Amino acid sequence: MRRGLLAFAGAALLLGTAYAGSAGQSVSASATAPLPIVATVQPSTGPLSGGQSVIVSGQNFQTGATVGFGTWATMPGQWIDSAHLRVTTPSFPNEGVISITVTNPDGQSASAQNGYAYLHGIYTLDGFGGLHPDGGSAPVSGGAFWPGWKIARAAVLTSDNSGGLVLDGYGGLHPFGSMTVQPAAAYFGWDIARDVALLPASSIFEAQGYTLDGWGGVHAFGGAPPPHGFAYWPGWSIAKKIRLLPDGTGGYVLDGYGGLHGFAVGSNPMPPLITTYAYWGGSDIARDFAIAYNSSAATGIGGVTLDGLGGVHAFGNVNSVTLFPPYIGSSVRDTFRALTLAPQAPLADLAGWTMDGYGGIYPFGRWVPPVRPLGGQWPNWDIAVSLVAQ
């Protein structure tokens, strides 16, 4: 018996077995199945508790394929067709972005690196007060709603995502979800309130934090320590956003030109002066900013600023001044409104999502998935005001 390569007209060469002395030839041939390809996961974000039904799309999936969630767990896939698997997400111990790996019964596998994000939740706030769950986040109930009146300015979530507060332009704070308290905050009676931030220990039973007015005033609520050292521009509505440091000892305010101004709370010292940031002197174009989760006064402060055209610019203890050119969305219109960093995004490799006024959400950086599906999207209607996440 000899082994050789047998040629078939119009076909590829296959390894076969020829038997001497026989009238014909018997060929034992096996074709290798094509490699699987993983393209998308939808929804692309979900809760840490798991139990979410997601669709993995791609090519060359086989019956009996499994789906791996990072190195944490492997789940059986429900085969829909060769391009789609349904799978139930496992629970996960913390927020984070992981790869999704499909393994066929023949042992061949493929992955979508950073294909799925475990989040407490991510939501779009519209100007009327509506909160829209994005990427498979759980719906939230309650909350104030002002149909036809674009007066909602910002919203925040508690650390466990079970509730939060919406800020209106007059300074009112309105609970949603499981939040059981409505803290009294500075109330102006006219449209000058701009943003709200919660201290890290806040819960649905005790919400403490700060509101920001357009002149730069920082106002404590819920028993939070009094702030000091903040910038103030009386009569000039140029302050845009407020963010607290991860340890709650102070924070920063963003002005419309891109300036970042520190403040402290209680008896804490002032946070470090940030000297490296994008700045548009005379142009009111800065819209939002975020501080990296591992920033501190001791190790350095870093993060990103969003401009109205969609540019995301690093500041502070980050190597690049303009981190993610070219512009993500429209490069000619002031339509971008908000951004948030992905959980555990390190200073050396920042990533996250931006949102435009139409409700579109766009990933930036190297390692986050697109947010699918969108909770709210209003083409050519500038009504989305905030992207709410932990």
Task: Tell me the per-residue pLDDT of 112-166, one tens digit each, with 9 for 90 and over.
Answer: 999 999 999 999 999 999 999 999 898 998 889 999 999 999 999 998 778 999 9
Is 126 in the same domain as 113? no
Rounded mean pLDDT, 257-267 = 98
First to last CA, the chain: 69
Residue 100 in this model has a pLDDT that exceeds 60: yes
Is 365 in the same domain as 285? yes
Residue 254 in this model has a pLDDT that exceeds 60: yes
Residue 111 in this model has a pLDDT that exceeds 50: yes
| pLDDT at residue 26, rounded to an integer | 37
Residue 12 in this model has a pLDDT that exceeds 60: no
pLDDT band at 253 (very low <50, low <70, confident <90, very high): very high
Residue 297 in this model has a pLDDT that exceeds 60: yes
Kindly state the percentage of the chain with pLDDT values over 70. 88
Kindly state the percentage of the chain with pLDDT values over 90. 74
The CATH number given to whatever domain includes residue 106 is 2.60.40.10
Residue 327 in this model has a pLDDT that exceeds 60: no
> What pTM did the predictor assign?
0.85
DSSP 37-84: EEEEEES-EE-TT---EEEEEEE---TT-EEEETTTEEEE-EEEETTE
| pLDDT at residue 25, rounded to an integer | 35
Residue 304 and residue 323: Cα distance in Å, rounded? 8
Alpha-carbon separation of residue 307 from 164, 234, 257, 327 (angstroms): 26, 24, 9, 10
| pLDDT at residue 15, rounded to an integer | 33
Residue 373, helix vs strand vs coil: coil
Alpha-carbon separation of residue 371 from 181, 195, 357 (angstroms): 31, 24, 16
Is 262 in the same domain as 314? yes
Contacts (Cβ under 8 Å, ≥6 apart) of 50: 88, 89, 90, 91, 92
Final residue before a domain boundary, out of 117, 146, 171: 117
Identify the burial level of 120 via C-beta atoms within 10 angstroms of its C-beta, where 0-12 means exposed, 13-18 middle and 19 or more buried: buried
DSSP 206-255: ---EEEEETTS-EEEETTPPPEES----TT---EEEEEE-TTSSEEEEEE
Residue 347 backbone phi and psi in degrees, to 5 = -60, -30
CB-based burial, 344-377: b 16+ in 10 Å, e otherwise: ebebeebbbbbbbbbbbbbbbbeebbbbbebbbb
- No. of helices (H) and no. of strands (E), the chain: 0, 30
Q: Which one-letter amino acid corresponds to residue 62?
A: Q
Rounded mean pLDDT, 62-69 = 98
Please count the other Cβ atoms lying within 10 Å of the Cβ belonging to residue 295: 22
Is 70 in the same domain as 154? no
Q: Which one-letter amino acid corresponds to residue 19?
A: Y
Residue 6 in this model has a pLDDT that exceeds 90: no
Is 305 in the same domain as 224? yes
Q: In this structure, what token pair is assigned to residue 233? A: 């521009």
- Does residue 372 contact residue 43 with C-beta atoms inside 8 Å? yes
Question: Does residue 275 come out as left (phi exceeding 0), alpha (psi in the -120 to 50 range) or beta?
Answer: alpha
- Structural domain including 64 reads 37-117
Domain total of the chain: 3
Residue 386 and residue 291: Cα distance in Å, rounded? 16
Residue 246 in this model has a pLDDT that exceeds 90: yes
pLDDT, mean over the chain = 88
pLDDT in tens, 195-237: 999 999 999 999 999 999 999 999 999 999 999 999 999 999 9
Residue 24 in this model has a pLDDT that exceeds 50: no
Final residue before a domain boundary, out of 117, 142, 172: 117
Is 211 in the same domain as 313? yes
| pLDDT at residue 324, rounded to an integer | 52
Residue 390 and residue 382: Cα distance in Å, rounded? 24
| pLDDT at residue 289, rounded to an integer | 98
Is 291 in the same domain as 202? yes
Is 149 in the same domain as 98? no
| pLDDT at residue 319, rounded to an integer | 64
Is 365 in the same domain as 279? yes
| pLDDT at residue 10, rounded to an integer | 35
pLDDT band at 390 (very low <50, low <70, confident <90, very high): confident
| Closest-CA residue to 291 (of 248, 229, 245) | 245
Is 90 in the same domain as 223? no
pLDDT band at 331 (very low <50, low <70, confident <90, very high): low
Q: In this structure, what token pair is assigned to residue 334? A: 């002031």
- Does residue 287 contact residue 240 with C-beta atoms inside 8 Å? yes
Which of 55-69, 163-177, 320-334, 371-385 has the least mean pLDDT? 320-334
Residue 22 in this model has a pLDDT that exceeds 50: no
| pLDDT at residue 301, rounded to an integer | 94
| Closest-CA residue to 155 (of 187, 186, 189, 121) | 121
Is 109 in the same domain as 218? no
Residue 107 in this model has a pLDDT that exceeds 90: yes
Final residue before a domain boundary, out of 93, 117, 141: 117
Is 345 in the same domain as 278? yes
- Does residue 110 contact residue 370 with C-beta atoms inside 8 Å? no
| pLDDT at residue 161, rounded to an integer | 79
CB-based burial, 248-278: b 16+ in 10 Å, e otherwise: bbbbbbbbbbbbbbbbbbeebeebbebeebb
pLDDT in tens, 339-365: 999 988 888 888 999 999 999 999 988
Contacts (Cβ under 8 Å, ≥6 apart) of 11: none
| pLDDT at residue 317, rounded to an integer | 86
Task: Using only the alpha carbons of the chain, give its radius of gyration.
Answer: 26
| pLDDT at residue 205, rounded to an integer | 92
Name which residue leads in pLDDT, 350 or 15: 350
Residue 224 and residue 239: Cα distance in Å, rounded? 21
| Closest-CA residue to 365 (of 260, 290, 296) | 290
